[in-house]
Structure 1
């Protein structure tokens, strides 16, 4: 445990240095960027160590892993983010622990989240996942709503009981015009955020950037970066 704590503390310090340097380069204050540590595939014991090291935001992408982990860590002062593609049959479970769902991308999901949030007596923050690679189907390879669908979906979230519209999220596309152009992709997301805030001023959260491209996200103006591998190490391959 001591070795793991030392390892995580060292990794966290390096990520912190990267974020601080990126903020300085972009002329931003360090406190403008929140680090979310993506703890997927790692045990509750790691979450507990991270909390002791000062981490306050953690993210998961699979409910079957996240629900028991969140329950085991319910005594910790953490904000839980759900970042994976979410099926409606998992919504009741996710609403039980997630403070923010970052992968809201369709009306049916909004309806299910609202219903379960009201039932649980909770307010759940929602980020619209934007698919910058959305093709003719209007959805991206990893889920997400096309830029043209943001306004309508945002209005639906804002008008749904139990939900709070917090902003936008994206994953750098692997295909399409933004493939390999993270800085341009994140810049596009910031433009979309500016448009969104005209109608919904409080929806000012912009979640973008991961271990490999957090600097580009900070440079573009992201408020939250989602870092897993750089803090926790390379994940074991899932079967």
Structure 2
């Protein structure tokens, strides 16, 4: 085992232990929580090492980094999640590799993703990104739709050809009433998810929590946590 692979193995074990401990504290089954490793800016070699260590869910937030990396790992059975803010003109490229787009936050993006999915003759999962720092009708500072816009956007995704509504996602806000209150923010997301499932029972994914706050997310009820730094270390600077 290379030094880098051994480092990743140690880090991965620590994160998995954190998830198990958080589940125990919340009286949840650890199998209810899926770890997505965010590999942004790290090389394809790291993705391959993670695959050998059992990781199957990986995420990226920039298409210009993700597309060549996904191509370099095309022989691996990975589920790729796109988690960054997405321009409509990048939809076609992203749907060349992404199995799940977690950052759906406006109708124009739904239309662009649907057109790209139909063109590629495939179905892609979508999460509605919820901005808990956004006023009614606005988008959040880090992307996402205001809570009162979730229902309408979800209906658009559910009715779009080639797309599958899988649930909701959020990033802990840096401003607004939930700033510094990660647990409360994630509990609010779970409430929104519960309401969404009344009309869309299969949309049961709740993606929340990162390296610094995965425990709060798990205890609030998240089904997926997105962890990068705690597994891969500090990200290299972008060129």
Whether TM exceeds 0.5 here: the answer is: yes
1:22-48: CA deviations, max 9, x gaps? Answer: 001100001000000000000000000
- Name 1:7's counterpart in structure 2: 7
The Cα of 1:135 is off from its aligned counterpart by 2.9
Question: Corresponding residue for 2:145?
Answer: 145
Root-mean-square deviation (CA, aligned residues, Å) is 0.9
Q: Unaligned regions of 5+ residues in structure 2, if any?
A: none
1:45 aligns with 2:45: yes
Return the alpha-carbon distance in structure 1 between the equivalents of residues 43 and 224 of structure 2: 23
**Counterpart in 2 of 1:230?**
230
Q: Which runs of 5+ in 1 are unaligned?
A: none
Matches within 5 A, 1:85-104: 85-104=85-104
Match of 1:181 in 2: 181
Counterpart CA distance in 2 for 1:57 and 1:236 is: 21
Structure 2: distance between partners of 1:121 and 1:143: 28
Q: Deviations over 1:31-77 (max 9, x none)?
A: 00000000000000000000000001000000000000001101111
- Closer, same or farther in 2 for the Cα pair 1:50/1:223, shift >3 Å? same
Matches of 1:23 and 1:60 in 2, distance apart?
26
Give the length in aligned residue pairs.
Answer: 239
- Runs of 4+ displaced beyond 6 Å: none
Q: Secondary structure at the match of 1:97?
A: coil
Separation of aligned partners in 1, 2:44 and 2:127: 25
Match of 2:156 in 1: 156
CA shift for structure 1 position 137: 5.7
Aligned: 1:29 with 2:29: yes
SS in 2 for 1:96: coil
Give the structure-2-normalised TM-score. Answer: 0.98
TM-score, normalization: structure 1? Answer: 0.98
